[in-house]
Amino acid sequence: MDEVPVYKVFYMVMTALGIGLVAFVNVRILILLARKYSAKGKVFRRYRYFFTYIASAAIYLMLAPVFDSFEHKSALYPFPVFLLIFIFSSGLVNTVIILLQDFVILQADKSYADLELSQIKTAHAEATNLLLKQQIHPHFLFNALNTLKALYRKDPGAGDNYIVHLANFLRASVYHHAAKTSSLADELALLLDYLEMQKIRFGSALNCIIDLPAEILNDHYLPSFSLQPLLENALKHNELTQESPLVVNIFCSDGRIVVSNTLKKKNLNATSTYHGLANLAERYNLLSGDEVIINENKTEFSVSIRLLTNEYSDHRG
C-alpha cells in the first residue's frame, strides 16, 4: 500500500483544525449573543453573522502563515490575492457551519414545539374529559331527585331504600370524580347501585342480566362512568312494562364489554338524543383513540367498548 504524502496529511490536519476552531468559536458566539438578545430577533442575526465571519476570517488568517511555511504558496500569488484566498475559504467554511447550526436549531425548535403541542393536547383532552363527565351528574341527579319525590309520595319505604343506593352511587361518583379510568369492578359496583335504584322504580318491568367473569374485574379498565350511562340510555329510550319488560344483557366478548337491550322505542321529541352515549363515545375516543361500536336492528340495540388493560396508559396507538 502506498503511503499518503506528508503534505496531504498536513493539509488534512490543518483543514480539520481550521474547521474545528471556526465551529467552536461559532458556538461560543451563539451562546454569548443568546444570553443578551432574542434568538428570533434581527439584532441577534446581524451580530451573529458579523462576529462569526470576522472570527472565522481571523482564524484562517492566523493559520495562513502555517500553510505558507510548508509550501510557500504566497510566492505564487500577489500578497493581497493570497490573503483573499484564505478569507474566501473562511467565509465558505463559516457559511456551511451556520447552515448546519441553523438546521440543528430548527430541529431542536421543532422537537420542543412538538412536545409543547403534545402537552397542550393532553391538557385539552383531560379538561374535555372532565367537562364531559361533569355533564353526566346534573342530568343524572335531575332524574334521580324526580324519581325520589315520586317514590316518597307512593311508598316511603321504597324511597328510603332508593336513597341508600343513591347515596352509595354519589359517594363513589365523588371518589372517582377526577379519574379518567376505573376498574371494571368499580364500574360494576356503580352500575349495581344504579340498577337497584331502577328496580325500585320499575320492578319486574326491568330485567338486567350481568355475566362478567370474575377474573377480569380487577385488572381491566373502562373510562369512568361508562356502564351506568348505557343502562340509563336503555331506560330513557325504550318502553318497559311488566307485560313487556326491558331486557338488558351485559357481558364480555372478544375483549369488549357489550351492553345490549331489547328494542321498543319511546316516541320521544326530535330534540331528544342519546346524550349519555354520545358523551361516553367522545370520552372514550379522547382516552383511547378507539371507537364505541353501536349496532341496532329491529329487535335489539347494543353498544360495545374495548376493555383497557393499563390504568395509567393513555391507551392511544
Domains of the chain with CATH codes: 6-114 (no CATH), 155-306 (3.30.565)
Distance CA 172, CA 189 (A): 9
Give me the residue label for grid cell 430577533: 41
Task: Name which residue leads in pLDDT, 74 or 86.
Answer: 86
The predicted structure's pLDDT at residue 143:
77
Question: pLDDT tens digits for 112-147?
Answer: 888 877 766 666 666 565 555 555 556 677 778 888
Is the pLDDT higher at 218 or at 278? 218
Q: What is the pLDDT of residue 272?
A: 47
Question: What pLDDT is attached to residue 114?
Answer: 81
pLDDT of residue 256: 94
Average confidence (pLDDT) over 17-24 = 86
Q: Is the pLDDT of residue 282 over 70?
A: yes
List b or e across 236-245, with b for residues whose CB sees 16 or more CB atoms inside 10 angstroms: bbbebeeeeb
**pLDDT tens for residues 244-281?**
999 999 999 999 999 999 998 887 654 444 566 777 78
Structure confidence by residue, pLDDT tens digits, 38-66:
877 888 888 888 888 998 888 888 887 77
Angle, CA 290 vertex, CA 286 and CA 296 arms, to 5°: 115
In DSSP terms, which residues pair with 262 in a beta bridge? Answer: 300
Residues 288 and 120: their CA atoms lie apart, in Å, by 17
86 CB-near residues (< 8 Å, 6+ apart): 57, 60, 61, 63, 64, 67
Whether the per-residue pLDDT at 169 is higher than 90: the answer is no
Neighbours of 210 (CB within 10 A): 14
Region of 258 (left: φ > 0; alpha: ψ -120 to 50; beta: rest) is beta
Radius of gyration of the chain (CA): 37
pLDDT confidence of 154, banded at 50, 70, 90? confident
pLDDT band at residue 177 using 50, 70 and 90 as cut-offs: low
- Cα separation of 294 and 281, whole Å? 10
How does the average pLDDT of the chain come out, rounded?
A: 81
Q: pTM for this structure?
A: 0.56
Look at residue 215 and tell me whether its pLDDT is greater than 60.
Answer: yes
Backbone φ and ψ of 261, nearest 5°: -145, 150
The alpha carbon of 103 is separated from its chain's Cα centroid by a whole number of angstroms, namely: 28
pLDDT at residue 278 in the model: 77
Band of residue 317 on the pLDDT scale cut at 50, 70, 90: very low
Q: Strand 300-306 to strand 256-262: parallel, antiparallel, or no bridges (unpaired)?
A: antiparallel
Cβ proximity of 209 and 248 under 8 Å: yes
The stretch 191-220 carries a mean pLDDT of 91
Q: What does the H/E/C string look like for the chain?
A: CCCCCHHHHHHHHHHHHHHHHHHHHHHHHHHHHHHHCCCCCHHHHHHHHHHHHHHHHHHHHHHHHHHHHHHCHHHCCCHHHHHHHHHHHHHHHHHHHHHHHHHHHHHHHHHHHHHHHHHHHHHHHHHHHHHHHHHHHHHHHHHHHHHHHHHHHHCHHHHHHHHHHHHHHHHHHHHCCCCCEEEHHHHHHHHHHHHHHHHHHHHHHEEEEEECCHHHCCCCEEECCCHHHHHHHHHHHECCCCCCCEEEEEEEECCEEEEEEECCECCCCCCCCCHHHHHHHHHHHHHHCCCCEEEECCCEEEEEEECECCCCCCCCC
Q: What is the pLDDT of residues 90-119, one digit of tens each?
A: 888 889 888 988 888 888 888 888 887 776
Task: Give CA–CA dist 234/229, Å, rounded.
Answer: 9
